[in-house]
Structures are given as structure tokens and as C-alpha cells.
């Protein structure tokens, strides 16, 4: 039999609400869901080379954020190649 320990973590209200809802809908115990999520995450981290990992949260300074916003607001029209790529992707779904 496996040994179990209790852990404590602070999570957002949104995450807690989703966890509670999923547990209610599926009947899965929250502890099982949390353990499965942790193990899957750690397995993925062990599988993917570190240079390909992207942080879940990226912090940018005001200048970088302004550049992102400009890129969104002033984005060029899609090229024919992009249209073709998106059409091929849409046909597979």
C-alpha cells in the first residue's frame, strides 16, 4: 500500500471552482485529481527537453507589452500561404 502525505497549496478561486465542479460532475475525489495532474505534469516535464518548455505565465515590461499590442492592432492582412494553411487545417478537423 502506498504511503500518503498531505500537502497544502494556494490556488486561485477560479481553479478551486473548476476543481470543485469537476469533482461533483465526475465523482472523482479532489485528491485523486490533484495527484493525477501533478504526476502528468511531472511526467511531461521529464519527457520534453527543457529548451522547449514555455512558462505558463510570462511577465513583460510596459515597453514589451506595448509592442505586443501594436502587433495585434497593426497586424497585416493574411497572406495566401496562411489562407491555404488554415484551409488545410480546417479540413482535417
How confident is the model at residue 1, as a pLDDT?
Answer: 58
pLDDT number for residue 50: 85
In sequence order, the 6+-apart residues with CB closer than 8 A to the CB of 53 are 45
Q: What is the pLDDT of residue 26?
A: 95
Q: What grid cell was written down for 29?
A: 475525489
The whole-number pLDDT of residue 55 equals: 79
What's the confidence (pLDDT) of residue 67?
Answer: 94
Instruction: Give the whole-angstrom CA distance, residue 9 versus residue 92.
Output: 41
- Reading the chain (93 residues) residue by residue, the pLDDT tens digits are 578 899 999 999 999 999 999 999 999 999 999 999 999 999 988 998 988 888 788 889 999 999 999 999 998 888 999 989 988 877 665
Amino acid at each position: 500500500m502506498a504511503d500518503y502525505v498531505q500537502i497544502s497549496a494556494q490556488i486561485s478561486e477560479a481553479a478551486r471552482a473548476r476543481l470543485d465542479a469537476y469533482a461533483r460532475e465526475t465523482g472523482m475525489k479532489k485528491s485523486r485529481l490533484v495527484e493525477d495532474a501533478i504526476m502528468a505534469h511531472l511526467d511531461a516535464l521529464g519527457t520534453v527537453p527543457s529548451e522547449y518548455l514555455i512558462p505558463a505565465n510570462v511577465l513583460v515590461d510596459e515597453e514589451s507589452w506595448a509592442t505586443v499590442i501594436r502587433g495585434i492592432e497593426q497586424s497585416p492582412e493574411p497572406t495566401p500561404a496562411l489562407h491555404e494553411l488554415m484551409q488545410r487545417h480546417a479540413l482535417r478537423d
